[in-house]
Amino acid sequence: MILNHLWGLYAHPLEEWQTIDNRHESLTYSLSHIVLIALFPSVMGYYSSVYLGWSIGTGNPVFLTHDSALLIAIAMYVALIAGIFALAYLAHWMGVTFGAQPTFTQALELAAYTATPVFMSALAAFLPHLWFVVCVGMVALAYSVYLLYTGVPILMHIPEERGFIYASSVVTCGLILLVIILAVTAMLWTNGIVSPMFT
């Protein structure tokens, strides 16, 4: 089952990282997880902006047109998958510096399973109030960082001391990637390529 590690990452993360490390599924398996899990934020973003409306303060809910929301959802989906691959590439590249010799599949597993709580937090968009979604997103981000710090020593087979520095470097790269994605989004938005159309 594609999502068979999902519950374990929440219920017993250390044991689940050990299971992931022992199994080391194929690249195709990791890709399947990424392709499926990246649907959550994209689909929820589309659904909540077209059918539920976003509440941004005390005014009336804001709705997007179907075509506009669909274009933004597709762009988000592509950006999320590209971000996971970029993070996996950076984790793989940095591995040698920290005394690890990960395969790209291991780095992809680390990136994919670490990002899972953030992607799953998109379910909060069933109640599309900005403050609520941001709060859930912050909790999910904190848990993703925790998963990264616990998963690096196990998946990369390095001591915890070096794993801490390695994980911190990956977190820094992840934040830089997030800023790049937001900057590209802002540029596309201001140039009218994916600008939203409100109803």
Residue 30 inside a domain? The answer is: yes
Yes or no: say if 42 and 77 are a contact pair by the CB < 8 Å rule. Answer: yes
Q: Is 50 exceeded by the pLDDT of residue 1?
A: no
- Token pair in block for residue 196: 């939203």
Which helix (H) or strand (E) segment holds residue 195: the answer is: none
Residue 85 banded pLDDT, cuts 50, 70, 90: very high
More confident residue, 192 or 77: 77
For residue 46, give every residue at least 6 positions away whose Cβ sits within 8 Å of its Cβ, in sequence order, or none: 69, 70, 72, 73
Beta-carbon count within 10 A of 139 CB: 14
| pLDDT the model gives residue 15 | 93
- Token pair in block for residue 82: 């590209």
* Structural domain that includes position 50: 1-189
For residue 102, give every residue at least 6 positions away whose Cβ sits within 8 Å of its Cβ, in sequence order, or none: 91, 92, 95, 110, 155, 156
Backbone dihedral angles phi then psi of residue 62, each to the nearest 5 degrees: -105, 130
- 53-57, 88-92, 130-134: range with lowest mean pLDDT: 53-57
Residue 134 banded pLDDT, cuts 50, 70, 90: very high
Distances (CA, A) of 99 to 96, 107, 141: 5, 14, 27
Residue 199 inside a domain? The answer is: no
Give the mean pLDDT of 172-178: 85
Residue 178 inside a domain? The answer is: yes
Give the mean pLDDT of 92-104: 86
Residue 109 inside a domain? The answer is: yes
For residue 75, give every residue at least 6 positions away whose Cβ sits within 8 Å of its Cβ, in sequence order, or none: 185, 188, 194
Q: Is 60 exceeded by the pLDDT of residue 2?
A: no
More confident residue, 58 or 173: 173
Instruction: List, for residues 7-48, the tens digit of each pLDDT value.
Output: 889 989 999 999 988 887 778 888 888 999 999 999 999 999
Say how many domains are in the chain.
Answer: 1
pTM of the model: 0.89
Residue 135 inside a domain? The answer is: yes
Instruction: List, for residues 141-167, the tens digit of each pLDDT value.
Output: 999 999 999 999 999 988 888 889 999
- Token pair in block for residue 145: 């960082």
Distance between CA 163 and CA 134 in Å, rounded? 29
Residue 46 inside a domain? The answer is: yes
Residue 194 inside a domain? The answer is: no
Beta-carbon count within 10 A of 130 CB: 12
Residue 71 inside a domain? The answer is: yes
